[in-house]
Amino acid sequence: MQFSYRHFAVLGKFSEQAANAAECAGEQGKFWQYHDLLFANQGGLAFTDSKLKQYARELKLNDRSFGVCSASGRYLKKVERETGVAASHGVRGTPSFFVNNRLLVGSQPFELFRTVVEEEFKAKSVRGKTE
């Protein structure tokens, strides 16, 4: 089993910059912490350059390294590519999840994930016996 995270920055320039900043935080081992701050602080002016730098300071990231990375837009192409791929697979909002090829949209209860994963394991087991 594998878990992969992909960006879906559909709110324009600010959400692309926020995703880029999260990747920059990842260079310092703080991707998920930064990601969580972004999601906890959505709305209005939450993704301005000054706010993105503030989140980095809250996580005690190296200011210089984070600033250079963020200003360079080092991960913008990756963010754009991942957003495009997600849209081409039918993703229209966040959060969205794929369990194999099954798309689950929105915040879902744990039991739904458990059911879908179990169904996928059973389906794989049946396919394995018939191949």
Q: What is the C-alpha separation between 100 and 2, in angstroms, rounded?
A: 10
Output the pLDDT for position 22. Answer: 98
CB of 125 within 8 A of CB of 113?
no
Classified as helix, coil or strand, 122 is helix
Q: What is the C-alpha separation between 12 and 23, in angstroms, rounded?
A: 17
Output the pLDDT for position 129. Answer: 62
Domain regions of the chain by residue span:
13-88, 96-130
Output the pLDDT for position 112. Answer: 95
Predicted confidence pLDDT, tens digits, the chain (131 residues): 667 889 999 888 999 999 999 999 999 999 999 999 998 998 878 899 999 999 999 999 999 999 999 999 999 999 999 999 999 999 988 889 999 888 999 889 999 999 999 999 898 777 666 55
Output the pLDDT for position 127. Answer: 64
